[in-house]
Amino acid sequence: MRPLSAIFIQTAGQKARCYLWKTCRPIFLILLFNLLSITVMHSKQNDEKGFLEIIKVADFEISGDGKASSWQKTGWTDIPRTMGTANYSTMVKVLYSDTGIYFLFHCEDKIITATMQEDNLNLWEEDVVEVFLQPDENYPLYFEYQVSPLNYEVTLLIPNLEGGIRGWLPWRYEGNRKTRHETTILKDNNGMVKGWKAEFFIPYSLMAPLIPKKPEAGTKWKANMYRLDYDEGQTRFTWQETDRHFHEPHNFGTFIFK
């Protein structure tokens, strides 16, 4: 038979644990609920929208082949195929400086579909890469930029009013308001096309007054990045997938400036 003292100590311990549980249970449940809510919300945000961190560098010259040492400071981001059958890889790097934002696209390809030799034509009807930037999502405006393998560009400000879309060309597009862009068509040792690169710089001054102020650490922009290829009909590559077309700001991802 167990001594009375042991029974008393066990009973007292059980009562203490019971009292402690009854006292702390509401607090524990509240903390658990908040933790689960935060976890689910964070997971949902990451599932719904993509995020890309962009590091800051000093301004540099572009050449169309991405050989500037600044590009070694960041990694590639995949642009997945979202429609069509051409099974190519598409990757992009993004950097920013005190004066603008830099992009480097690497597009695997076998046939360069590009005949237009003038800026601001319908470049999207042939091979092209595109960037949409929305620095302030409080306004239904964003900046659209396209470059073809032949190094021709489209530069537009897009008012998107409930799906009503019109592009406006920049006025006084000169000096420090002009983009810088170069492309390179890549070939193997036999002279066969194996892809192309597009490297370009978009100055903040071109997007004024769309940009409230220059980005700094912690600034966030809504954005999306695309590629169109026409080897096997139209194939689309999209960083953040859209429902019907590229002009869907609610489906844009987020650039986070570091």
Gap between the Cα atoms of 47 and 41, Å rounded: 10
Residues 229 and 111: their CA atoms lie apart, in Å, by 9
Q: Residue 148 above 50 pLDDT?
A: yes
Whose CA is closest to 225, among 128, 86, 88, 114? Answer: 128
Res. 90: pLDDT tops 80: yes
Tell me what pLDDT residue 253 has. Answer: 96
The pTM of the full predicted model, rounded to 2 decimals, is 0.80
**Paired sense of beta strands 90-96 and 100-108, if any:** antiparallel
Q: What is the pLDDT of residue 34?
A: 40
pLDDT at 26 over 50: no
In Å, how far are 78, 90, 185, 233 from 81, measured between CA atoms?
9, 8, 21, 13
- Average predicted confidence (pLDDT) for the chain: 85
Angle made by CA atoms 238, 241, 244, in degrees to the nearest 5: 100
Tell me what percent of the residues of the chain surpass a pLDDT of 90: 70
Nearest to 177, CA basis, from 122, 120, 99: 99
pLDDT for the residue numbered 92: 98
Interval 50-62: pLDDT, tens: 999 999 999 999 9
From CA 247, how far away is CA 69, in angstroms rounded?
Answer: 33
pLDDT of residue 147: 98
> Which of 35-39, 188-192, 205-209 is the least confident region?
35-39
pLDDT of 182 strictly over 60: yes
- pLDDT given for residue 28 in this prediction: 38
Taking each continuous run of H as one helix and of E as one strand, the counts in the chain are 2, 14
Q: Provide, for the chain, the percentages of residues in helix, strand and coil under a 3-state DSSP scheme, each rounded to the nearest 5.
A: 25, 35, 40
Q: Which of 21-25, 36-40, 75-79, 94-98 has the lowest mean pLDDT?
A: 36-40
> Cβ-count burial of 182 within 10 angstroms (0-12 exposed, 13-18 middle, 19+ buried)?
middle
Provide the pLDDT for residue 32. Answer: 35
Beta bridge partners of 62: none
pLDDT tier at 216, thresholds 50, 70, 90: very high
Mean pLDDT (whole number) for 190-197 = 97
Which parts of 108-185 fold into alpha helices (H)? none
Residue 9 has pLDDT above 80, yes or no: no
**pLDDT digits over 92-120, tens only?**
999 999 999 999 999 999 999 999 999 99
The residues, ordered by sequence, that sit 6+ positions from 198 with a Cβ below 8 Å of its Cβ are 64, 103, 104, 105, 107, 129, 147, 149, 151, 181, 182, 183
Whether residue 139 is predicted with pLDDT greater than 80 in this model: the reply is yes
CA 203 to chain centre: 18
Which of these, 230, 234, 232, lies nearest to 245 by C-alpha position?
A: 234
d(CA 151, CA 184): 8
E strands of the chain, at which residues?
Answer: 51-54, 77-78, 81-83, 90-96, 100-108, 128-134, 141-147, 153-161, 164-165, 180-187, 193-203, 220-229, 235-238, 253-257
The confidence score (pLDDT) of residue 49 equals 56
pLDDT at 164 over 80: no
Give the rounded percent of residues in the chain with a pLDDT score beyond 70: 81
